[in-house]
Structure 1
């Protein structure tokens, strides 16, 4: 990535997604591809791995995936920003007997705001995300009838 293009980028996010078993069914990948096609996000890096029952980790080559997984479409998505250390840290979070996708993307929808913020001398000083499970638990604590199964 050229330095001038970095100045024009939106915020960068990463996620570690986990599925039971060897590989996902493919429900999420088409939705991620749709976000890419619509210009909402740009995939910077993606890695897939499995964690065996004994705790050992193995990388999955995107080119070797079943077409049904949907992740084969991301073959070649790599900027090198996702390091081996990042992948090892992600693997530590996985349960044995699971597979995972680690994705890093640019939020292109937010790029104009990020660029304007940087040009005005502003900077991001904190960021976070509330997981849906935490939100549901908080809502249920406030009013158990507010959360339906």
Structure 2
């Protein structure tokens, strides 16, 4: 198991079906960075509670809104035009790299929030993905199931 959140995310994201699952969830409005952190916490055996989830969301929300989402929107808007404009395509690649770095910084911030959150004695209390899915109204979402399967194969 990876010890830091960033390397855990890289490992998880590379597993079959996970990238598509995250993109599907992102399209549904799920904060993928918070979801990645939740998967990491679940695998580490850290107990879920709504206050902790609130701390993660409070950390991620402003950064997503002010930094990550504007970069993503710009990159997405340029997709079609960049296919016919080499200069714009080059800029789009740079924006994509900035977006990834912004997500990496957010993951560092989320990891920092979790410092001191100890492991629990009961695995039943650390089902982050299940509890987040129920809270979000997506308890049976195929994308979340794909993530659970990928995590359990680790």
Range class of TM-score, shorter chain: under 0.3
TM-score (norm 2): 0.24
TM-score (norm 1): 0.24
Larger Rg: 1
Q: Which of the two has greater strand per residue?
A: 1
Q: Which of the two has greater helix per residue?
A: 2
